[in-house]
Structure 1
Amino acid sequence: MTISDVARHAGVSKAAVSKVIRNDYGVSDAMRDRVQRSIAELGYRPQAAARALRGRAYTIGVLMQHIGIPFYAEIVTGLVDELAASDYQAIMIQGGTHDKTEKRAIDALIDRQVDGILMIAPLAGRSHLEQVAREIPTLVLGRHDRSPAYDSIVDDDRVGSELVMEHLIGLGHRRIAHITFDKAHGQAADRTPRIRAETYERVMREHGLAGEIAVVATSYTEEGGYRGAQELLSRTPRPTAIFAGADEAALGVLAALHEVGLSVPDDVSVAGYDNTKLAAHPRIALTTVNQDGVVMGRTAGRLLLERIEGRTSAAHFSVIPSLVVRGSTAAPR
């Protein structure tokens, strides 16, 4: 959608549309109403046109579901580190776990005329992401779909989940459970939770453990991990290991085990995903998958600056994760 489309729809010149967008003098009320009606009917974002007219704001917008998610904080840290040598600053906005609130957040960034947007695990469909990317340089992080319209960075979740499962099975565990994401707790971004859960089930079957598959769908939060662990511990026999789909959920698992007097890893081994800073705390010592959020954030910053400076071809990066083994996993007793 361009200013020419608005002018054609309204039956006026491009200069007239530009004057309305800039709120210039010399535009009649009738002309202003006519152009504004066309803008509304076409769904045109006049802020994008205003951006082209006034130059750069030297600002990168960051969209995330929740500012309290530890892994997202590490991504932002990497982004800010990368921007430090430039004139750009980052601003953050929370999109929530529903399409409507996320769209409002994206519109707010566009309205503030940021020069680029980093979307961390957005909920929007590919077509909407492409529409945004046509207006403003966009990088999508944590989605497994690709587009020529925007850059992307994604973790190889299959490899990461395989690393966890092979580690636990190699220790001698057979009753291994998994905590995944349930859409009833808000929409999950892309296919990431499903990929991790499907990989868990596949590896269990490959090792002849199909009868031991146990999946609980809650959420990738501490509360979700706590509730998931409670359900798993109520089963007989209980699992000897739990693979939580995110470190934050793993923290809830640890809390639930502590509450009922079970020891980690003597009674139950626990593994997570993300390798957040808290996972390395000596009182937690969580075995987890490292996808290096700081490096992801730095890479995102570099790619966005390249886009802003004129690169037009899309760049897609896949991060190969590694397993960080700590004290939360051991052979079953």
Structure 2
Amino acid sequence: MRITMEDVASRAGVSRALVSLAYRDRPGVSTETRDRILSAGRELGYVPNRVAARLASRGGNTLGVFLQDLHNDLFADLFEGSRTVADGAGKQLMLGVGALDGGRDAEVLETLAQSWVDVVIAFGLQMPDAEVREMAERVPLVCVLRGVADIDSVVSDNRHGARAATRHLIELGHREIAFLANPPSDGYMDRRHGYAETMTAAGLRPRVVETTYSRETAAADAGALLDAGDPPTAIFAHNDQAAMGVLDALFRRGLTPGREVSVVGYDNSSPSKVPGVALTSVDVDGVALGRSAAELALRRIASPMAPAEWRTSFPTLMVRTTTGPPLP
């Protein structure tokens, strides 16, 4: 049975409002009454909801925004979507930027928490699910691009998108299709799984090569694939940054994307749409994801005790000139 603030108020013989003030250490409660309330809470085993208390003590005016990286244009689209909603609601944004390897996630979230933002919208967190949930006990979080159980989350169905991209290459006639994968971590395995499932269902051999979130590293790893004795005729990269690395590797070898080697990216970020690039990519609609994230943040401020909500959208494949049939 869950012990509520009303239970503590009844045991201590005070109002619920006084219990709330006591647990938030706010003025208006005598030392004797506060001690009695806290003692009653201990006897009942009451665990205060610190997140709800935090929101109740704030004005609901500031949203924190965590961005994994400033080099990936997808994060600009995500931020733009959130900013539009925040501006419309009269909310201020405080920005924190992580690192490609996820090594600054905890540090940046801690800084935002100590800055007393009301909710953090986190785009691209790489820390394990358990650590995300632990941080969410201190400051409300909205996770974007990955889903975390019991945390407000906004996701695009990555399995769906990866299947569409892989099917596109198979239907073009490709049989040797490599997947340039992101490092394995909680929340970011569905693109790899969608690719592998589609290849296996078609009777083809999955060929997964792990890379990083760095364009330069992706270029080196793609180059190793291309220089191998059995190079693929198509490479599906886990995001557009990695796909740009693949295009760099092709350029250095005098190979034309869409002819000698087909290339597919993921995210449909701004650079993929440039006429000179024209990268086939899976569109997650970053602006829409950012809007949904800010809407969930506002919902959390308005209803601190509401159950976590997940919003899932379905991406679409944008076919451009970097994919075509394999050479005879």
Same fold (TM over 0.5): yes
**Alignment partner of 1:86 is 2:86:** no
Question: How many residues matched?
Answer: 288
Displacement of 1:278: 1.0
Aligned to 2:301: 308
Q: Which amino acid aligns with 1:205?
A: T
Q: Which amino acid aligns with 1:80?
A: R
Aligned to 2:261: 268
Aligned to 2:144: 141
Q: Is the 8 A contact 1:155 1:319 kept in 2?
A: yes
TM-score in terms of structure 1 length: 0.78
Aligned partners of 1:47 and 1:315: how far apart in 2? Answer: 16
Displacement of 1:153: 1.0
Equivalent residue for 1:197, pick from 181, 192, 196:
192
For the residue of structure 1 that corresponds to 2:104, the secondary structure is helix
CA deviation map 1:188-234 (0-9, x unaligned): 4x242x32223222222222222xx3222111321132012111111
Matches within 5 A, 1:290-329: 290-310=283-303, 312-329=306-323
Aligned to 1:224: 217
Q: Which amino acid aligns with 1:288?
A: S
Q: Which amino acid aligns with 1:83?
A: A
For the residue of structure 1 that corresponds to 2:213, the secondary structure is coil
Aligned partners of 1:77 and 1:275: how far apart in 2? Answer: 15
Displacement of 1:182: 3.2
Matches within 5 A, 1:179-198: 179-182=180-183, 188=185, 190-192=186-188, 194-198=189-193
CA deviation map 1:288-308 (0-9, x unaligned): 111111000001111111111
Aligned to 1:206: 201
Displacement of 1:49: 6.6
Displacement of 1:16: 11
Aligned partners of 1:116 and 1:48: how far apart in 2? Answer: 11
For the residue of structure 2 that corresponds to 1:18, the secondary structure is coil
Equivalent residue for 2:80, pick from 77, 100, 117:
77
For the residue of structure 2 that corresponds to 1:84, the secondary structure is helix
Q: Which amino acid aligns with 2:128?
A: G
For the residue of structure 2 that corresponds to 1:272, the secondary structure is strand
Matches within 5 A, 1:1-333: 18=25, 52-53=56-57, 55-56=58-59, 58-96=61-99, 101-147=104-150, 150-182=151-183, 188=185, 190-192=186-188, 194-210=189-205, 213-310=206-303, 312-333=306-327
CA deviation map 1:52-101 (0-9, x unaligned): 54x32611111122222221221111101111211112221123356763
Q: Which amino acid aligns with 1:332?
A: P
The structure-2 alpha-carbon separation of the partners of 1:52 and 1:310, relative to structure 1 and needing over 3 Å to count, comes to: closer
Structure 2: which 5+ residue stretches go unaligned?
Answer: 1-7, 9-20, 28-47
Percent pairwise identity: 32
Measured on the aligned residues, the alpha-carbon RMSD in Å equals 2.8
Aligned partners of 1:99 and 1:223: how far apart in 2? Answer: 17
The structure-2 alpha-carbon separation of the partners of 1:207 and 1:127, relative to structure 1 and needing over 3 Å to count, comes to: closer
For the residue of structure 1 that corresponds to 2:74, the secondary structure is helix
Structure 1: which 5+ residue stretches go unaligned?
Answer: 5-13, 23-43
TM-score in terms of structure 2 length: 0.79
